[in-house]
Structure 1
Amino acid sequence: MITTIKNNLISASIKHVGAELFSLNKHHREYIWEGNPAFWGKHSPVLFPIVGTLKNNLFTYNNQSYSLSRHGFARDYSFEVIEKSEESVTFSLKSSEETLKVYPFDFELQISYQLIETALQISYKIINNTNSILPFSIGAHPAFSLPLEFENYTLEFNCQENLDCFTLENDLLSDNNFKINLVDKKLLLSYSIFEQDALIFKQLKSKEITILEKEQPIVKVKFDDFKNLGIWTKVNAPFVCIEPWLGYSDTIHSNNNILEKEGIQFVEAKESKIHQFNIEVV
């Protein structure tokens, strides 16, 4: 099933499976990647309750081991629509007997999409229904369609900074990192910078990234609520992902204890947390 929201400027369509955004359209131009499986068959999956990969695909909690595949399970489940208007929709996924086998926490994940003029505000609400602390990570993975040659695109950060990028070793964060120096706040896109997979940032001064097409802005991603970020594409693929994260893959030194996992977030017992970001079509 699909739900579409719209105003007089833009529209957005979301699949109920994974509550996944798959269309953001303004004046008949599509800004979200089409999901061609020849490159990558997703559009904008939600990463929950982990981001990235666990060491040996396992975590431990209360002296028991649990198996979770890369990026968690939220993207694989059908969400329920719990609120809907012309310009907004809220989806809900609740823990179940099946999820408790791999993630032993009673939770509800609500994902809201709201159009505000030419921007789409995406909110994640993590509700802890247990009597103990709930560990989680959550991340967005929107892929933006780039119809021209890849080298026609630039990422403009809102701060001038030297980017500290962490590399992966067998899908885990290694001890190795490298620097990318922005020029006038800009990163010129080329496939060569993604030959070792995603660019992963534990910290950034910038909280906005604008995609420029032939030096003209087309999309701006604002992510004040998110500490971490990934930028990714596949070599020769006509898209780029700008991924606000709270959390990232295990490090190679991980002891698998989810309560000690680097980058993990927590919701206190019977509490909730909301994190949101915006995609603005410029």
Structure 2
Amino acid sequence: MITLENDYLIVKIKEEGAELVSIVDKKTDYEFLWQADEKYWARHAPVLFPIVGKLKDDSYQFVDKEYHMKQHGFARDLPFHVQNITSNSASLYLKNTDETHEKYPFEFSLQINYILHYSSITVSYEILNPSTDKTLYYSIGGHPAFNVSQSTSGSKEEFDDVSFRFEPAGQYLQIPLSKGGLTLPNKAKYVEVNEVPIKHTTFKNDALIYQISQQTEIVLEDKSNDVAIRLKPNRMDFVGIWSPYPKRAPFVCIEPWSGIADPDNTTGHLAEKYAIHELRASQLMTHDYTMSFSKN
């Protein structure tokens, strides 16, 4: 387990999946990050790579061969190697193996950097294509889950005064999901995203997915706990907001994505996948997001 610490936060990261597992406010001892209760969802903040969301039939084609990969890819379940650790930063990396080639026929190097600065954490993903002659196709994203207050209303648990908003407020393209977890681009529409109250029924049709700009900042507020979490993505074109349904778990995920689940009408060819990234031979690409935490 890796621990980063400054005057504001204590952050813990595990080498399996290079996953954040704890973000504690030092002044109040408040835990911002969901603690992976298996009854609801046994993860904290998994890394989504080399796909985000689901593939149609959990499969894709590349150069006349079919490959199989489950939702959100394999990086979250593999051990990363530690490259560097300081008191306020950590770098871990994952490279292709014979095991990954069975699902994903590419050479790659994925480095994840965590940088702690005051009450903020920046998470950066560096994807390198080490091949000298082949293009690398990938998607990547984060999936951090944050504790929010929940109490019993009648016979059921419900969120207490939890909401999210986008800054700047305005019209954002919302992309619905099918019951099978595929996107429905033909049903996407622009909706106003200002101050949006969150209830468990908010997620009755799965995650809320929005296309965002480079200027978009997402703010999650839990007024009952006097908590605010601001998430600022960079080179991330989508954000998913999710909590289990019909289970009533006391957490909400804010998920910055560079990539998205297959559309229901996909061809299934990886090079034609919607919002897939093409990384030329020997090129490097970086995606990142910064989370800032406030607890009164």
Alignment of 1:127-276 (within 5 A): 127-130=128-131, 131-149=133-151, 150-169=159-178, 170-174=180-184, 175-177=186-188, 180-182=191-193, 185-204=194-213, 207-214=216-223, 216=226, 218-235=228-245, 236-276=248-288
Q: Answer whether contact 2:214 2:236 (CA < 8 A) is retained.
A: no
> Structure 2-normalised TM-score?
0.90
* Whole-angstrom distance in 2 between the partners of 1:209 and 1:116: 19
* Whole-angstrom distance in 1 between the partners of 2:31 and 2:142: 19
What is the one-letter code of the residue matched to 1:188?
P
Task: Say if 1:41 and 1:263 are closer, same or farther in 2 by CA, change over 3 A.
Answer: same
What is the one-letter code of the residue matched to 1:259?
A
Q: Answer whether contact 1:151 1:188 (CA < 8 A) is retained.
A: no
Paired residue for 1:18? Answer: 17
Q: Which runs of 5+ in 2 are unaligned?
A: 152-158
> Structure 1-normalised TM-score?
0.94
* Whole-angstrom distance in 2 between the partners of 1:230 and 1:224: 15
What is the deviation of 1:200?
A: 1.2
The SS at the match of 2:176 is: strand
* Whole-angstrom distance in 2 between the partners of 1:281 and 1:203: 21
Deviations 1:31-83 (A, max 9, x none): 00011111111100000000011111111111111111110000010001011
- CA RMSD for the aligned pairs? 1.6
Which range moves more in the overlay, 116-125 or 207-216?
207-216
Alignment of 1:20-169 (within 5 A): 20-27=19-26, 28-130=29-131, 131-149=133-151, 150-169=159-178
What is the deviation of 1:14?
A: 0.7
Paired residue for 2:4? Answer: 5
* Whole-angstrom distance in 2 between the partners of 1:205 and 1:191: 29
What is the one-letter code of the residue matched to 1:250?
D
What is the one-letter code of the residue matched to 1:139?
G
Number of aligned residues: 279
Misfit runs of 4+, over 6 Å = none
Q: Answer whether contact 2:149 2:222 (CA < 8 A) is retained.
A: no
What is the one-letter code of the residue matched to 1:231?
I
Task: Say if 1:154 and 1:120 are closer, same or farther in 2 by CA, change over 3 A.
Answer: same
* Whole-angstrom distance in 1 between the partners of 2:290 and 2:150: 24
What is the one-letter code of the residue matched to 2:283?
E
Q: Answer whether contact 1:163 1:204 (CA < 8 A) is retained.
A: no
What is the deviation of 1:147?
A: 2.9
What is the deviation of 1:176?
A: 2.2
Deviations 1:233-260 (A, max 9, x none): 0131101100000111111111111111
The SS at the match of 2:44 is: coil
What is the deviation of 1:178?
A: 5.1
What is the deviation of 1:179?
A: 5.3
Q: Answer whether contact 2:60 2:67 (CA < 8 A) is retained.
A: yes
* Whole-angstrom distance in 2 between the partners of 1:171 and 1:210: 25
Task: Say if 1:224 and 1:38 are closer, same or farther in 2 by CA, change over 3 A.
Answer: same
